[in-house]
Structure formats: C-alpha cells, structure tokens
Amino acid sequence: MLIHQNFTGGNIRIEAIEDNTIYLNNELRDTPHDWFYWAFCAENFAGKTITFRFPKERIGYYGPAVSHDLKRWTWLGAGEEENAFTYTFQSEEDKVYFAHSMLYHPDRFAAFAKKHNLELHELCQSKKGRSVPYITFGDGEEIILLTARHHACESTGNYILEGVLEGLLQEGLPSTKVICIPFTDFDGVMDGDQGKDRTPRDHNRDYRLNEPSIWPETAAIREIAANGIRYGFDFHSPFHCGERHDTVFLVEKVETKLAEYDVFSEILESVWTADALRYDKRNNILPGVEWNSPNAPTFACYMDSVANAKLACTLETAYFGTPDNIFTPEKAIRLGRCFAKAIVEYDKQA
Ligand SMILES: [Zn+2]
C-alpha cells in the first residue's frame, strides 16, 4: 500500500498510520502561512476501507475530489466528519487520486489546444527549466490577454478559461489577437505547490512598477503587454471556502474603473445561462474591502495602469460552490462561455 505525491500536482505528507486510519497533512513548502491545497495518489489499497484524516480544514463541502486518471474528477460526497473521509477501494481499484479540489492537468489543456488546431508555443523557460506553454489565435493590432494559475493551486480558473477560449474561438473580437497563458506559475502547477504568497513573492505580486519581475513567466507576460493591451482577464480561485468564497466574483481593483466593472458585470449577468455556474454581481468585491488592496502589484493593476487596458480584472471561482450551485468542470466551462460572450458584448458597447 502506497500513498504518494509523485504525479503532476501532487502534494501530501503522511503524519501517521494507525490500523485503517491514515493521518495526512499538506506541504506548505514556501508559502509562509497556512494554506489548504493537497492532492495524493493511493495505490494498492484494493478491497480495503480506509479513513484519511487531516488535522484541520482541508476538505470541502462535498468531500474530496476523486479521480482515476487525473482527467475526470467527481466529488466523493460529504462524510460524517469535517476533517476526514472514508473510502472503500473496490477490488479492481489499484490507483485512486484524491485532492482538495478538481485539478486541471496541463495535458488537458494540450488536448484542448490540439482539438482546436492551436499550437502550443513556448512563453519562456521556467526557473526549473520547463517549457512554459501559451497559445494565441486571431489577427489584429489589439491584444486580449488571458491568464490563469498566477497562484499554482487555483485550478478552477482553468476550467473557466477553457470556456472563455471556446467562446472566443467561436465568436472572436474583430481585429483582436488572443494570447493565453494557462499556467503562469508553471513549476508550481507541475510540482503541486500552494503557490499562494510564496516566498519572496508569488506570481501575482510580481508586477511591481519600476522593478523587473523575479519570475520568468511574469517577465514574459509584461513583455507581451509592453505596447499596451485592450483587455486582460486573470482567472483565480479564492480562499478554501465560506461566504463570498463559495461564489464566483469579480475583483474590482481600480477605483477609477468602477463604472466599467459595473457595465461588464451587468452584461455578464444578462448573458448568463442557467446551465452555468451562477454569477451574481452582488458578490463582486470592491477596492479596499477585506483583502482587496487596490494598489497591490497584481496582473490586473499592472494591465490597467501600465498596459492601459480598457478593462483588466480578476475573476475568482469557488472550489466547491453552494449546494444549489456545486462546482463541476462542465458548469465552470459554461460560465467561461458566458464570460466570452460578455467580453464580445462589452466590446460592442465600448
Ligand atoms: Zn489567486
């Protein structure tokens, strides 16, 4: 029997094993405060019933995400205990993946690109020497820049992004080139890091004015935006769960753009379809509220002030959602399609 993290996105530490209970925790690595991401593989447990126990809030409302191939994910379902789940491995179940949330494997993005005849280009080499992928399509002077995984563990953003790309491929903006970096912190995504607030700073705090980036990916993104962009959208996941973090919301960063956020949010509400994850603009977070510091050196602020984007913002998508609005990849992709439609409609009005 083996519990391990030797796969894309893996992150686990075994604390103790007692009979049929395995005590686990995640690895924070270079995140200097508590965070919640974990993902592990259980091999050779066929026929056994095992309880996996965490010391604190590491499991969402619907139990862990479960997969047999790192591609298709389902929720196990809520167990009786908040910080533990029990799984009965069937006789042929030799290898099962469990995770905090539904992972998004870079291979899935490669398959998506292939399906749409899009070539994966190299944005740059990561610090660890990996080739960081990006795609581009459409012709024109104007650039729409789409990014996800500035924080490595935030996979919900990739599902939204897939829908946005599908929508823009089908109904693109005139004279506009789409440039998409799906895994900004590529090493973090591959290695299963938290990525959030990493030391000395994470990828979404690496957009300081008058100071070069420390991450090759953010340096390359800044270079793409050097001559200005029209739109910049960055897709994230929020905190583990609770209140606003159970919803989908826009992060409104720039005081002078409140009216623009409002117009865009209203359009997004109006084009939203009932088969998608719900979006309600009342969940948007205003500048200066809670953690939303308006002057943080983020992608969105940088694209607004330096790249002079007409609209640049972050969309946060809950890991789990609420019982009437549970996160699934399909519903997130559909919301992404609504988001693309909202961009097209907004652009018509702009
Ligand atoms: Zn984030």
CA of 90 to the centre of ligand 1 (A): 36
Token readout for 332 is 């997130």
CA of 252 to the centre of ligand 1 (A): 14
Those residues with Cβ within 8 angstroms of residue 334's Cβ, 6 or more apart along the chain or in another chain = 163, 273, 275, 276, 277
CA of 25 to the centre of ligand 1 (A): 21
The residues placing their C-beta within 5 Å of ligand 1, an ion, are 151, 154, 236
Those residues with Cβ within 8 angstroms of residue 1's Cβ, 6 or more apart along the chain or in another chain = 42, 43, 44, 45, 48
Q: Please state which architecture CATH assigns to domain 2-99.
A: Sandwich (2.60)
CA of 13 to the centre of ligand 1 (A): 23
**Cα 69 from Cα 48, distance rounded (Å):** 20
**Cα 52 from Cα 54, distance rounded (Å):** 7
187 phi-psi bin (left φ>0, alpha ψ -120 to 50, beta other): alpha
Residue given tokens 């100071």 in the structure block = 211
Q: Would the pTM of this model clear 0.85, i.e. be above it?
A: yes
CA of 300 to the centre of ligand 1 (A): 12
Those residues with Cβ within 8 angstroms of residue 67's Cβ, 6 or more apart along the chain or in another chain = 73, 74, 96, 97, 99, 103
* 3-state SS, residue 224: helix
CA of 344 to the centre of ligand 1 (A): 25
CA of 151 to the centre of ligand 1 (A): 5
Q: What is the residue type of 311?
A: L
Q: Which pLDDT score, from 0 to 100, does residue 129 have? A: 98
User: Which residue, among 126, 256, 253, has the nearest Cα to 188 in the 3D structure?
Assistant: 126
Domain(s) labelled CATH 3.40.630.10 in the chain stretch across 106-349
Q: What is the pLDDT along the chain (350 residues), one digit of tens a residue?
A: 899 999 999 999 999 999 999 999 999 999 999 999 999 999 999 999 999 999 999 999 999 999 999 999 999 999 999 999 999 999 999 999 999 999 999 999 999 999 999 999 999 999 999 999 999 999 999 999 999 999 999 999 999 999 999 999 998 898 999 999 999 999 999 999 999 999 999 999 999 998 999 999 999 999 999 999 999 999 999 999 999 999 999 999 999 999 999 999 999 999 999 999 999 999 999 999 999 998 799 999 999 999 999 999 999 999 999 999 999 999 999 999 999 999 999 999 98
CA–chain centroid gap for 31, Å, is: 17
Torsion of CA 265, 271, 272, 276, to 10 degrees: -130
Domain(s) labelled CATH 2.60.40.3120 in the chain stretch across 2-99
CA of 177 to the centre of ligand 1 (A): 25
Token readout for 5 is 């993290």
CA of 315 to the centre of ligand 1 (A): 9
CA of 17 to the centre of ligand 1 (A): 33
> Is there a contact between 29 and 67 (Cβ–Cβ < 8 Å)?
no
**Cα 75 from Cα 338, distance rounded (Å):** 24
Q: What are phi and psi of 344, to 5 degrees?
A: -65, -45
* 3-state SS, residue 255: helix
CA of 124 to the centre of ligand 1 (A): 21
Q: What is the residue type of 289?
A: V
* 3-state SS, residue 101: coil
Work out whether the CA dihedral 64, 95, 34, 232 comes out positive or negative: negative
CA of 291 to the centre of ligand 1 (A): 12
CA of 68 to the centre of ligand 1 (A): 27
> Is there a contact between 164 and 336 (Cβ–Cβ < 8 Å)?
yes
CATH number 3.30.2020.30 is the correct assignment for the domain at 106-349: no
CA of 204 to the centre of ligand 1 (A): 7
